[in-house]
Structure 1
Amino acid sequence: MTVTSRGIMTGVFFRFFPRLAGRLAIFWLLLALPLAVPAARVEGTAPRAHVLVLMSYHHGHSWEDTILKGIDEWHGVGNAQRPVFHVEWMDSRRYPDAAQRERFAGYLREKYRGQPFDLVITVDNNALEFALHDSELLAGTPIVFCGVNGDPVPIVGGRAGVTGVAEHFDLERTLRLARALHEDAGMLLFLTAADETGAGIRETLRRALDAMQVELPVDHWVVDNLAQIAPRLKALPEKTLIFAFGSMPETAGGRTLGPEEVVAYLRARTALPLYSDLDRTVGFGAVGGYMNSGLETGRVTAGLAIRVLEGEDPAAIPYVYDAPLALVFDYKELRRLGIPTRKLPEGRVLLNAPPSLFDPEYRGQLIAFSTVVALLLLALIALLFRSRMQAERQAALRYQATHDELTGLPNRRWLMEHLAARAPEGGSLALVMLDLNRFKLVNDTYGHSFGDELVAAVALRLKQWLINDELLVRFSGDAFVIVTRCDSDGALEGVRERCSRMLVEPFMIKGRRIPVSAAFGMSIAPGGSDEHERLLREADTAMYEAKRSGRAQVVLFDNGIHERAVRQFQIEAALQLALERGEIGVHFQPIVDSDSGRTAGFEALARWTHADLGPIPPVEFIRAATESGRIGQLTQLVLRAACRAFVPHLCAHGQPYLAVNVSVSDIYADEFSTRLVEILAAEGVPPDRLVLEVTEDMLLGDVHAVTQALARLRDQGVRIAIDDFGTGYASMGYLSNYMVNIIKIDRSFVRNILTNGSDQKIVRAVVSMAADLELAVVTEGVETAEQAALLRQLGCVLLQGYAYGRPRPPEEWAVDGRLEALSA
């Protein structure tokens, strides 16, 4: 349409208001996106498609940026559900070599390992060629292309499942229009880049010029860089029309300028008419014409993508060769070149056109009045918009700073500000901190994106359990805080009961049934208290107490917990010195062959007596070693001490073995097998006399990593035992896959075995299945002769427990296989 105006006030209003309205619309859209996306996750019933968008060049390349903007207007095309977009930039304009593409391919494979795509959208030739030849990540994935220079048929070849939009610049129409606007033109000059995009454009030029049979002299400059041709511009004939297509480097090896920057560069160095193929160049020095529109191209591409995602066969969707064009002109360039607007085709759009006054008779008065009113209105609108936008921007920044992006919940910063701002009031304030158990195992097994979905599902579940004015905060990765009131013992018990039931029902994440448990710690402060840091610290301490003890109920902070925390700190502080001095020793507990009555082996148990703290239970200093990162050092010390103490038993009748507990982190350490060989060789213990006991947790890790770790140990000749079997998640299938040698039935199945028929059935079943898998079975926790007799009836041969001997120093045990301990 032709752009006109009816007066300064009307012209100014309609000139600036659409820009302001457009910018406000974009601003509101950006604010709404972070809220809309989580809502879609929670409320959507159908799974969203995943679409990979491959951009040939780099972020900031205007042509591709506008195409991407058009694609991103997905919600405006029909009623199709918006997919999850994964946008990647190849940067092939600045780094065109094959090595860069190979690195990019490796990057995609690593980043999207295990992520299937429902569709690939490619922008420009390089991205399409890359997608067509990627046989690993994108094989068989439907492709919708756009922005392809020239005919896409030779590029696509016989590849099935491809459709798209060709970058069709109607050069003939623009040339005829330029000839009509410049009737005295004496020469046509075409500038194209010295790259594959430029080659495609030159082929299009050749076909258009052949079809038109242009009688004017035609010159082609293939541009390596703009600085190279800048001096030549001044020598061009006066009536030359310049056509500049595509992006070009400014200097040799320098930054590549976008199409609008190329036109602006040329316009600053020549007064000759400039034409281009992209609508974005109008306003930077291009006269105008029938121009490619990146925004419209993106919208058409989105329409094709929707059809493919809705089930249409891409092969049945014809290529779009008539890409949408914009008929746009720069009014300033038309005036500079003396071209009247009446020579322009109908339906054109004029940029930079000044408003006109509709009534010459009152022109002077109207100009003055309109100017004053317009300035006042613009000033008022500017102030209002600025104030509102600043307020909205501050609110958005404030929200981002105080809320978690994944779950939409308030974060730790919000919690601290909320607690600090609470007015003194009656009643007690309670904080419940919960931390998911074994969450790292979920991330290691299924990946961090899976873990994020689990955290979001847990957050939703917790929100549904809130009552009254309770608040929920995502405190850290897998930790949450519930702020509630606890004015009575009944309220406390109510909190305990709700916490125990919150996570009973498993979660379904990506089709997997995931059981989740958590440790809950609680602290209470009287109303009006301002010791919020202490309240939070105590809740955190109580939560770790619950995690260490394995209790499912809420642990309420008390002085005993504080004293245990202080003791734990003291143990951790003294541990390193104890390890360096070798203060931690070993005791042996026998493992008895109940058929022969002889000692089949000894389990080495670490013992530490501190000068000030006295005897420290193993569970305390092992936990301290694990949490302080010294578990590997402790394991090697115990292993060396146990091997040294075991040497006298190497010649004992029946060849008893030595069992030493090692942690999962020890097993996974690459250097552990090497250190093991060194210790065995130094102490003179054959590898086949050593059994390493690990917990069931190890079997739940990455199958490949577990297999490699156990294979390294088996190669050394040692055997593997699974300790505390039956208390975790292991199964006979795991044991068969990983080829362990011994399983140790946990003492919890022995404690009540005389009266509990279920325990008897479990033990009998384990013994039977172990026999089928040719695994030895050791039963722990045997404390009475009656238990030993019943276990023998159930098929248990190797027994361990106080009924046969408590842990004692190694030198107190006979070396000839007898059960009796030597006198101290």
Structure 2
Amino acid sequence: MTAKGISVAWRHCLLAFLLQLTLVAGLPASQESPQVLVLMSYHHGYSWEDRILDGFEEWGGVTASRPVLHVEWMDTKRHREQESRLRFARYLTEKHAGRRFDLVVTVDDNALEFAVQQRDMFAGTPIIFGGINGDPNQITAGRPGVTGVAERFDLVRTLRLALVLHPEVKRLVFLTTADESGAGIREHVAGAMERLDPGIQVEHWVTRYLAEVDGRLPDLGNDTLLFALGSQPQKEGGRPFSPEELVAYVHARTSRPVYSDLDATVGRGALGGYMNSGLENGRLMARMAQYVLAGQRPEEIPIVYEPPQALVFDYRELQRFGITGNDLPQGSQLLNRPPSIFDPEYRNTLLSFSAIVTLLLLLLAGVLIRGRILASRHAALHHQATHDDLTGLPNRAWLNEQLVRGKWGGGQAMALVMMDVNRFKLINDTYGHSFGDEVVSAVAERLAGIQEGRTQLIRFSGDSFVILRRLDDPMYLADLCDQCAHIMVEPFHVSGHRLSISAAFGATLAAPGEIDRDRLLREADTAMHEAKQERGNHVVVFDRDIHERALRQFRLEAWLPNAVANSEIQVYFQPIVDANSGGIAGFEALARWQHPELGWVPPPEFIRAAIESGCIRDLTLGMLRSASKAFKPYLEKPSRPYLGVNVSVSDINAEEFPVRVAAILAEEGIPAERLVLEVTEDMLLGDVGNVTQVLGRLRELGLRVAIDDFGTGYSSMSYLSSFMVNIIKIDQSFVRNLTTSSSDQKIVRAIASMAADLELSVVTEGVETAEQLELLQQMGCRLLQGYFYGRPQPADSWLGDKGLEFAAYSTPCDAR
């Protein structure tokens, strides 16, 4: 090591030691870990940023509390438009709502520019940057609380060295991209050339993609050096190559020396020089971050304009151009250099190695035996860790290993299908978990029928499986989807039970060489949940529309709890009309929500979001309170109309629900006999004992129960008496084709007759035409609801309505 290198090393050691003392003294042991947001300008797999992140995550080994890192990728290499940055800003705001970051770390220009512009999101939060090619002050624009590491490619020294190593050179060609990053590089080149021999000819090849220079690369003359800098795709619209891939690409197409600015490119085609080191930049940023988190102001930490560099060369490239080690600067490192006992650098090492080999030969027999035992044990442990005990199939760990390490695909297109058994929880709840395990095994055996040489089945989790298949042509994905759609059609026979089991399948596709585990699993899972919304066996292939719907669902679930808490859900009333008198006998309260960005959201959509986000019970109670408040003006009507409010299955299964209902009725002054709770048939098929107990307590309050959407669920005569139902609401699906369908007429007539025998009131939904009204009256249907009488309107709209009068008769709430 040189004297200068020893001095730098001692400075780094001293800084680390002082920092460790500062952190230990400044932070209490009980303090929570700091929260650090790391913004990466490009995408995972872009080596320059990946190496910076690796260096930062090492954290230097100090004893202070290690921060929690939240890493986000902006992907601006592939998505440069401003709209993408706006979407990213909304994504960050929603994902990290309520979280306060102690520090923001940015990598490359785009991330720093984004962080500085987000004044509301990062107000007062210190920023440490890295990878800035140029003057960072032009980006920070005087923003306080910012420091970091400026990217430094020592082009002058590298050029001087290259001209010494290649004295025949009279022409320099710089290959750069036609974007802001390329512009910064060209500006840096211009500054460097002002300090060099003006007799050297400089030529810039500014390209949008590499195919534009394919024909020019082989024609570079013997007096030319090529500098390949930055990152760009091979063809228009393609994936941007990393710096290593770019250097390898041009190296394969020219016989002239290729130079670059990153140490990672040496060994991939670059000859070498004074190179930027992403790993060292990341380590230096981590040390600066430790100072800031220990309480030091960023303004007190100078921006580093001379970060550590690597003086490294590719031995094979040096040999190709007749350059020896004596021509290189002192302290140069050589990659791909074959060891030689005659080389002083390797002599002591090889002699020591020979002595060690001699000693090892004496122990070889024992080592071989021990090695075989350990290898066998390791193989057994590895198999146990990567395979499922129940089915013997590879498990999620195996899948991650295959996709992350690129073992699966073999250069072909690949399909990934995620499959989940429908209503599996019901099977476990009905027959027990041991029986559920037998079902899983039977499903795995059935799915094995589509396995062949190019297909692998994985048990992903409880009742979820993943299917991998290599595809010679992406068009063959349709064949796999067809197999999935039919594989579960035949019934299963498990422990003497004949079961019809269906499943939802979500499929996605990866192009050759573009296997991204996180993307594939995310897209397949999203498509699978889309398929869950359809009954039976259903296969959905991921596309952009599904992604947009999933993003919309995510945003709804993020907004909805606040909307419920802030009473943003509006109450609309739809009248229930007495067909004999034409007057209003009651109202059904319906929820309506106008999202501040998405506009009016359909009720099924935000109700599903309420269930997924866990705020359905708050939504129900909020609707009950708002509807009761809006219903007060109708209490004085002589006909005593009733108020119908829908409740969810989680409400019915909650023991405290009757107490909450009673409290709301008392606070709002609504008599219990004027309230009807509407439940669906599916809600009454869970824990029968608990449902009976809850509904019994509700009955004791004096309110009534209606079965909504009657006939569409698991209709049973037993619950009409078991749960003391008062009202049956005939679903609109039986009324839609009533005038043309004799079967629908028979069903409606039968329900009306049965209800009359059981002394139950009947409300018929979906009445839209006069012909439907006439038929329903003939069948004895007295209470009607539908667009024929009016669409849902704000709750107070019906107070001044002159077209419908309040029915003067005993309301359905007076039924048993």
TM-score between the two structures when normalised by the length of structure 2? 0.51
SS at match of 2:636: coil
1:537 aligns with 2:539: no
Mapping 1:564-583, distance limit 5 Å: 564-583=549-568
1:767 aligns with 2:732: no
Equivalent pair of 2:474/2:509 in contact (CA under 8 Å): no
| Aligned counterparts of 1:468 and 1:576: Cα–Cα separation in 2 | 49
| Aligned counterparts of 1:693 and 1:482: Cα–Cα separation in 2 | 42
SS at match of 1:554: strand
| Aligned counterparts of 1:393 and 1:479: Cα–Cα separation in 2 | 30
Deviation at 1:742, TM superposition (A): 2.3
CA 1:406–1:818 in structure 2 vs 1: closer, same or farther (change >3 Å)?
farther
1:520 aligns with 2:526: no
Equivalent pair of 1:652/1:816 in contact (CA under 8 Å): no
Equivalent pair of 1:599/1:817 in contact (CA under 8 Å): no
Match of 2:466 in 1: 481
1:410 aligns with 2:391: no
Amino acid in structure 2 at the alignment position of 1:582: S
CA 1:778–1:497 in structure 2 vs 1: closer, same or farther (change >3 Å)?
farther
Deviation at 1:694, TM superposition (A): 1.8
Deviation at 1:389, TM superposition (A): 4.2
| CA offset digits 1:398-441 (Å, max 9, x no partner) | 12211122222221111122223336656531111122222223
| CA offset digits 1:724-778 (Å, max 9, x no partner) | 2233324223333333222322222222333333333333333333334333332
Q: Alignment partner for residue 686 of structure 2, among 691, 698, 701?
A: 701
CA 1:775–1:562 in structure 2 vs 1: closer, same or farther (change >3 Å)?
same
Deviation at 1:682, TM superposition (A): 1.0
Mapping 1:720-739, distance limit 5 Å: 720-739=705-724
Match of 1:197 in 2: none
1:797 aligns with 2:785: no
CA 1:551–1:703 in structure 2 vs 1: closer, same or farther (change >3 Å)?
closer
Equivalent pair of 1:424/1:529 in contact (CA under 8 Å): no
CA 1:524–1:725 in structure 2 vs 1: closer, same or farther (change >3 Å)?
farther
1:620 aligns with 2:643: no
Deviation at 1:380, TM superposition (A): 11
CA 1:511–1:789 in structure 2 vs 1: closer, same or farther (change >3 Å)?
farther
CA 1:637–1:404 in structure 2 vs 1: closer, same or farther (change >3 Å)?
same
Q: Alignment partner for residue 713 of structure 1, among 691, 698, 704?
A: 698
1:757 aligns with 2:723: no
| Aligned counterparts of 2:674 and 2:802: Cα–Cα separation in 1 | 15
Mapping 1:493-504, distance limit 5 Å: 493-504=478-489
Deviation at 1:474, TM superposition (A): 1.4
Q: Alignment partner for residue 787 of structure 1, among 753, 760, 772?
A: 772
1:611 aligns with 2:596: yes
| Aligned counterparts of 2:440 and 2:584: Cα–Cα separation in 1 | 50
Amino acid in structure 2 at the alignment position of 1:569: F
1:452 aligns with 2:443: no
Deviation at 1:443, TM superposition (A): 2.6
Deviation at 1:487, TM superposition (A): 5.9
Deviation at 1:489, TM superposition (A): 7.8
1:691 aligns with 2:708: no
Amino acid in structure 2 at the alignment position of 1:589: Q
Equivalent pair of 1:649/1:815 in contact (CA under 8 Å): no
Amino acid in structure 1 at the alignment position of 2:374: Q
1:560 aligns with 2:545: yes
| Aligned counterparts of 1:754 and 1:684: Cα–Cα separation in 2 | 43
Amino acid in structure 2 at the alignment position of 1:624: A
Mapping 1:453-472, distance limit 5 Å: 453-466=438-451, 469-472=454-457
Equivalent pair of 2:503/2:538 in contact (CA under 8 Å): no
Deviates more, 1:617-626 or 1:592-601: 592-601
Mapping 1:158-557, distance limit 5 Å: 386-420=370-404, 421-422=406-407, 425=410, 427-466=412-451, 469-485=454-470, 491-548=476-533, 550=535, 552-557=537-542
Deviation at 1:681, TM superposition (A): 0.9
SS at match of 1:475: strand
Deviation at 1:381, TM superposition (A): 10
| Aligned counterparts of 1:817 and 1:744: Cα–Cα separation in 2 | 26
Deviation at 1:388, TM superposition (A): 4.7
Amino acid in structure 1 at the alignment position of 2:705: I
| CA offset digits 1:607-637 (Å, max 9, x no partner) | 1112222212212221111111111111111
Equivalent pair of 2:421/2:502 in contact (CA under 8 Å): yes
CA 1:465–1:731 in structure 2 vs 1: closer, same or farther (change >3 Å)?
farther
| Aligned counterparts of 1:552 and 1:385: Cα–Cα separation in 2 | 53
CA 1:687–1:517 in structure 2 vs 1: closer, same or farther (change >3 Å)?
farther
Match of 2:257 in 1: none
Amino acid in structure 2 at the alignment position of 1:588: F
Equivalent pair of 1:653/1:816 in contact (CA under 8 Å): no
| CA offset digits 1:571-603 (Å, max 9, x no partner) | 222222222221111101112222332222211
| Aligned counterparts of 1:461 and 1:729: Cα–Cα separation in 2 | 29
Deviation at 1:386, TM superposition (A): 4.8
SS at match of 1:650: helix
Match of 2:181 in 1: none
CA 1:604–1:469 in structure 2 vs 1: closer, same or farther (change >3 Å)?
same
SS at match of 1:537: helix
Q: Alignment partner for residue 602 of structure 1, among 565, 587, 601?
A: 587
Equivalent pair of 1:431/1:482 in contact (CA under 8 Å): yes
CA RMSD of aligned residues (A): 2.8
| Aligned counterparts of 2:722 and 2:365: Cα–Cα separation in 1 | 72
Which structure has the bigger radius of gyration? 1
What count of residue pairs does the alignment treat as equivalent? 443
Deviation at 1:803, TM superposition (A): 1.4
SS at match of 2:374: helix
CA 1:394–1:730 in structure 2 vs 1: closer, same or farther (change >3 Å)?
farther
| Aligned counterparts of 2:383 and 2:743: Cα–Cα separation in 1 | 55
CA 1:422–1:508 in structure 2 vs 1: closer, same or farther (change >3 Å)?
same
| Aligned counterparts of 2:493 and 2:757: Cα–Cα separation in 1 | 34
Equivalent pair of 2:575/2:588 in contact (CA under 8 Å): yes
CA 1:489–1:395 in structure 2 vs 1: closer, same or farther (change >3 Å)?
closer
| Aligned counterparts of 1:553 and 1:488: Cα–Cα separation in 2 | 23
| CA offset digits 1:252-293 (Å, max 9, x no partner) | xxxxxxxxxxxxxxxxxxxxxxxxxxxxxxxxxxxxxxxxxx
| Aligned counterparts of 2:736 and 2:470: Cα–Cα separation in 1 | 41
| CA offset digits 1:697-738 (Å, max 9, x no partner) | 222212222222222222222222222223332422333333
CA 1:392–1:817 in structure 2 vs 1: closer, same or farther (change >3 Å)?
farther
Deviation at 1:540, TM superposition (A): 0.6
Match of 2:667 in 1: 682
Structure 2 stretches lacking a partner, 5+ long: 1-362, 807-816
Amino acid in structure 2 at the alignment position of 1:738: F
| Aligned counterparts of 1:422 and 1:383: Cα–Cα separation in 2 | 30
Mapping 1:106-125, distance limit 5 Å: none
1:657 aligns with 2:642: yes
Structure 1 stretches lacking a partner, 5+ long: 1-378
| Aligned counterparts of 2:408 and 2:445: Cα–Cα separation in 1 | 29
1:808 aligns with 2:786: no
| Aligned counterparts of 2:757 and 2:682: Cα–Cα separation in 1 | 23
| Aligned counterparts of 2:385 and 2:554: Cα–Cα separation in 1 | 33
